[in-house]
């Protein structure tokens, strides 16, 4: 008898845990329109959006990066992809009006409002346990990759991979020689972006826990969000 092949390994399991895993906004991730929700510092939350709904992500203190993902609601193998989005919009950072496409090159979200200076990042992978090891951290450190995994699990979902996030308010200037810097956000308290769902999707936000380099002004804090419209 031929043995069954071993399961294909994937990247869906978190390395450690925090309250992201046990404190979803609701059991199924559905938000009450107009209600203000908090993504606590160093944690993540997931929210289901129907096509036409808009999520407003708010930089409550002005200093916080929010790693943001979107997955097709009924097929998590399709997701918002920054490498595909850059090719679609012909620039590194999206502007208001730009669609953000999936790994199958279909619009999943559109950036329809941005009150900040528009400084965001689409180049950097989400922080993970291995990143903190390279930064000299010995014990488990909260991280955006695990926050994404746990936020999905908290509403009964699981992704096989951690895509490159849309790093909202992350300030990574690229110099003419191709070098980069890791700087604090250019946004101010209360700045927000609005993302319109172009298909039924699940949006995950992580209030980035990075406190070793200055992308969160070395002090991670909460962000907030609300579902503000439904066409």
Tens digits of per-residue pLDDT, 104-130?
999 999 999 999 999 999 999 999 999
Domain that holds residue 211: 46-230
CA torsion sign, 190 to 116 to 171 to 226? positive
Tens digits of per-residue pLDDT, 64-98?
999 999 999 999 999 999 999 999 999 999 999 99
Q: What is the pTM of this model?
A: 0.95
Q: Whole-angstrom Cα distance, residue 220 to residue 185?
A: 12
Q: Kindly state whether residue 7 falls inside one of the protein's structural domains.
A: no
Q: Kindly state whether residue 174 falls inside one of the protein's structural domains.
A: yes
Tens digits of per-residue pLDDT, 163-176?
999 999 999 999 99
Number of domains comprising the chain: 1
Residue keyed to tokens 């922080």: 127
Q: Kindly state whether residue 27 falls inside one of the protein's structural domains.
A: no
143, 17 Cβ separation under 8 angstroms: no
């Amino acid at each position: 008898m031929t043995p069954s092949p071993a399961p294909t390994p994937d990247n869906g399991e978190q390395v450690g845990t925090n309250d992201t895993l046990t404190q979803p906004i609701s059991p199924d991730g559905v938000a009450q329109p107009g209600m203000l929700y908090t993504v606590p510092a160093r944690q993540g939350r997931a929210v289901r959006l129907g096509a036409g709904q808009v999520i407003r992500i708010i930089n409550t203190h002005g200093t916080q990066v929010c790693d943001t993902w979107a997955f097709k609601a009924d097929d998590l193998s399709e997701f918002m992809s920054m490498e595909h989005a850059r090719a679609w919009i012909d620039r590194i950072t999206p502007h208001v009006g730009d669609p953000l496409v999936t790994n199958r090159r279909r619009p999943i979200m559109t950036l329809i409002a941005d009150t900040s200076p528009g400084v965001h990042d689409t180049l950097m992978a989400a922080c993970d346990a291995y990143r903190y090891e390279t930064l000299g951290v010995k014990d488990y450190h909260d991280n955006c990759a695990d926050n994404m995994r746990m936020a999905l699990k908290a509403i009964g979902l699981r992704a096989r991979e951690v895509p490159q996030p849309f790093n909202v308010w992350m300030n990574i200037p690229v110099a003419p020689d191709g070098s980069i810097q890791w700087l604090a956000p250019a946004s101010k308290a209360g700045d927000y972006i609005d993302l319109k769902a172009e298909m039924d999707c699940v949006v995950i936000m992580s209030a980035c826990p990075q406190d070793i380099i200055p992308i969160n002004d070395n002090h991670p804090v909460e962000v907030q969000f609300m579902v503000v419209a439904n066409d």
